[in-house]
A = this chain, B = another copy of it.
């Protein structure tokens, strides 16, 4: 049994508690041990009265609890979390944090204090996307040539709106605030500081470079106007707030700023609140990681993955993730039971009544039609193109077999599934 203490039970902390409880069987299978949350720390005790964990208001209740194995730090801020996390490490407890500001300033100090004690922080960059995992382990054979990422969902939501709808900055900001994507004081997001914290963390993993936010180029998106949007469109660009780390001989460039990006680049295709990070390695070339960069569940997904990884500690993951099928009942579905929408192409002789005949066969199999196009294909022949609503493979195969027997159907029907 591994016991976890969660310091900061807000949106993310609550999701961590819930995932560990609700996904317990899969988590036990993957980690090889039972994991439970022993206690939490919150400012306002009334806000967690629905949770079945012990709560207090003092972080040291968790940090100094000899029964707690893993401390999850989700407080926010820098100085208090630093003190709390240091004490946890000194007490020999593993630490998981989502606190990017803490790491932007104190990551090397923490690495030194941690030594062999696990200290993980997947959730600190790009929420649910396992980018630290990818960069530290998946691409470990490579010199990293560059990292270029959309690391702030608020800015990307706003820029996407401005590009797609031509809405001016102030209006989009108000909308983002109304939707809860931007804070009342939005400076941290739209000024590029949030992205900069994340960039510094990634740059350490890629290059081992220790830099502080104050030492790098950070600009935001405040000045962008419809004139800029129009220019970008005219020349085939989109505008994104990017965090960029780039190697240039013995120097590493680190910068956060708005950028015109060619609209056919993969990174240009990441819209709305989503995050995406492109990494170019000297051997692998470009890889890109896309997903939700914020939100309680997505961020908690990364926190819990770190917890599982720590619990496994020392031991490797089982070759196929776990040694037994996850849930006993899980079995392969019979292919004929799979449901899809379908596209169907028929070449038919162009005679009266043929469409009625064919569509009645659809009805016989209870397959309903969403769209039909009839195109003349050659003399006295036509292509009939159908899109259906959802049906089983069994029904579809039944339909195709019946269609095949019609004299008016000149070739075997051709089908593509619609996903």
- Residues in A lying within 8 Å of B, measured CB to CB: 15, 19, 23, 26-27, 29-31, 107-108, 110-111, 114, 118-122, 128-130, 133-143, 148, 204-211, 215-217, 223-225, 227-228, 231-232, 234-235, 237, 239, 242, 244, 248, 250-255, 257-261, 266, 269-270, 281-292, 295, 297-298, 300-305, 307-309, 313-327, 329-333, 335, 337-338, 343, 345, 371, 373, 375, 377, 383, 385, 387, 393, 414, 416-419
Contact = CB atoms under 8 A, between A and B. Distances in A.
A133 B133 contact: yes
Given A137-B317, A141-B301, A208-B321, 16 more contacts: A110-B319, A128-B285, A134-B138, A138-B302, A140-B309, A141-B304, A207-B330, A208-B324, A216-B332, A227-B385, A253-B333, A266-B290, A285-B295, A285-B297, A287-B291, A314-B314
A147 to B, nearest CB: 12
19 contacts: A23-B142, A30-B140, A128-B283, A128-B285, A130-B133, A139-B301, A141-B308, A209-B330, A209-B331, A210-B325, A228-B385, A239-B416, A242-B419, A254-B332, A257-B416, A259-B416, A269-B269, A285-B291, A287-B289
Nearest to A223: B414
Mostly, the A contact residues are mixed
A186 to B, nearest CB: 19
Contacts of A248: 333
A259 B204 contact: no
Nearest to A31: B140
A128 B140 CA distance: 11
A234 B305 contact: no
Q: Which one of A148, A250, A315 has the greatest number of beta carbons of chain B within 10 Å?
A: A250
B259 A418 contact: yes
A122 B373 CA distance: 44
Given A15-B283, A208-B321, A250-B329, A138 B130 contact: yes
Contacts of A244: 419
A254 to B, nearest CB: 7
